[in-house]
Chain A
């Protein structure tokens, strides 16, 4: 199977009068995890919505395999690009198996009923996300971490080569954030899934992404492998945050340590004296 290619060319997106993403070019690297980071209102979620065709471009275009997304049939796009939005809705009382099964929609026709291929896709998705034993539970009764895994399972059942996730870790505690990102890294490795993820937590983004897209005011400020890209100057530019960038002792990825305003004002040199004795 040939691999798909997703890119944006001179893409501008906005809501009504307000332009949020401004004439932006980006190519999603195939088979890698791309993290989109940026301050609030930098346009990172909007960019993801544009790539997922939730927003019609004001100008420019999103190209899938060289053809503008609008020219694709919706269902054909849905077979290539899976999307997990920020706030999906679980209908009251729905079971995990039923919810995950709904990811099969683009693979079923008007009259084509459920087949064993669908069963296998659902089971594989449940399995990959470690939620097989939750299959008969009601989604509403799950913990936040379990629920997010189930939503990922639903998008996996869609069996797409590309996966777009909009801040999937937002309401999770740290251990579940790590668990979810491990799951995505695993999918990237075992299924060769291309992943684009909008993340708030910089250190997690640096650690899990192969490719980093840093946005500010609707434009891409820097793009590349986190290790080549990230330094205190970039963090200051993108987030307006004074920090020092060290190397993560576990992963070797860059790690941002913010310099707290209060201590800075006291004139303490944090680098020289990391802790007070």
Chain B
């Protein structure tokens, strides 16, 4: 290593040209990947509408969706029977895929996805309580789940607060709160009748088929509001992940931005969980997969959202059509997600940067 200021061999104009070329290369890669994943989501969406006991050809699906064909059978099957499930799967996946990297990057920890740090388990506790004790169903369960997600996030935030929030504290306290909630869920299930327990278990595994029209509409409305906000805040998030001090030095109001990001993440997960139950591992996986595809640490929250949508759509297709009996979506995401989690734990600690 040379002493003193090592002059770069390249001239300044060369460096500028290289910086520009590198940026164009990264942008192109992000565009190609994001539009490919978008195309995949569209394909899975049409497939969801096409496959079933009556299979409808994709062009008939498209014609029915766009309202340009007079095809009563296709209209009924596609629009009435399958569209609600396809839309729910898309929206739930999108919401979870956006929320995961929001938390993971803000807290600088790949384990810090909201379904891991207790937001989803708060929703589970309240939903299970509503089902078992109040014998609630439908909208009331969804409402309870939404409140549960919010309250457990608030609890974690307050417990983790000590002159600000550090990622590590947040994750550890989140995991603790999560375990507490899940053990309470266990208690409630153990005390319940077998019929209630079965209903609660079904909800707890999570399935896009269980969403009612109201939950679906609420989820869609929430996405319309939050998606632009998330995309706008991604720029601040890119700064926040450099550490609080540096982010502050770059002109970010750290605590305000972080609180806003937490609220956004909780709202995304809360509404998704209220609609379809806690579909496991989607929020955990979406961000890292996006990073793998578009290059590490390049952001791409929208890409992650689309990947979340693709995961849930694909999982729903597998759960409904490739299994001997139709299963809840959460079973399939769990089967894929659990090995991924093990891999993540093994590799992050090897890198020495994980939590």
B72 at the interface (CB under 8 A from A): no
Q: Please determine whether B16 and A92 come into contact, CB atoms closer than 8 angstroms.
A: no
**Whole-angstrom distance from the CB of A60 to the nearest CB of chain B?**
20
Q: Please determine whether A132 and B8 come into contact, CB atoms closer than 8 angstroms.
A: yes
Complex CA gap A124/B10 in Å reads 12
**Whole-angstrom distance from the CB of A35 to the nearest CB of chain B?**
19
With A92-B296, A114-B23 already in contact, the answer to whether A123 and B239 are too (CB < 8 A) is no
With A88-B243, A102-B239, A123-B16 already in contact, the answer to whether A133 and B8 are too (CB < 8 A) is yes
A256 at the interface (CB under 8 A from B): no
With A106-B250, A110-B232, A119-B23 already in contact, the answer to whether A132 and B105 are too (CB < 8 A) is no
Complex CA gap A220/B323 in Å reads 74
Query: Interface size bucket, A side?
Result: 35 or more
| Neighbour of B251 across the interface among A77, A85, A123, A140, CB < 8 A | A77
Within 9-58 of B, Cβ neighbours of A (below 8 Å) are at: 9-10, 12, 14-16, 18-20, 22-23, 26
- Which residue of chain A has the shortest Cβ distance to B25 in the bound complex? A136
| Neighbour of A89 across the interface among B1, B10, B243, B295, CB < 8 A | B243
Residues on B with beta carbons closer than 8 Å to the beta carbon of A92: 110, 296-297, 351, 353
A53 at the interface (CB under 8 A from B): yes
Query: Interface size bucket, B side?
Result: 35 or more
Complex CA gap A79/B249 in Å reads 9
Q: Please determine whether A52 and B249 come into contact, CB atoms closer than 8 angstroms.
A: yes
Within 149-198 of A, Cβ neighbours of B (below 8 Å) are at: 155, 158, 164, 175-176, 178-179, 182-183, 186
A81 at the interface (CB under 8 A from B): yes
Q: Please determine whether A87 and B243 come into contact, CB atoms closer than 8 angstroms.
A: yes
Complex CA gap A75/B249 in Å reads 9
Complex CA gap A85/B247 in Å reads 10
B163 at the interface (CB under 8 A from A): yes
- Which residue of chain B has the shortest Cβ distance to A126 in the bound complex? B15
Q: Please determine whether B246 and A183 come into contact, CB atoms closer than 8 angstroms.
A: no
B235 at the interface (CB under 8 A from A): yes
Q: CB within 8 Å of A: which residues of B?
A: 1, 3-10, 12, 14-16, 18-20, 22-23, 26, 105, 108, 110, 163, 232, 235, 238-239, 241-243, 245-246, 248-253, 291, 295-298, 351, 353
Q: CB within 8 Å of B: which residues of A?
A: 15-16, 49, 52-54, 73-79, 81-95, 97-99, 101-103, 105-106, 108, 110, 114, 116, 119-120, 122-124, 126-127, 130-133, 135-136, 138, 140, 143, 145, 155, 158, 164, 175-176, 178-179, 182-183, 186
Closest CB pairs A-B (n = 8): A93-B296, A83-B249, A78-B251, A85-B245, A94-B297, A75-B251, A132-B8, A123-B16
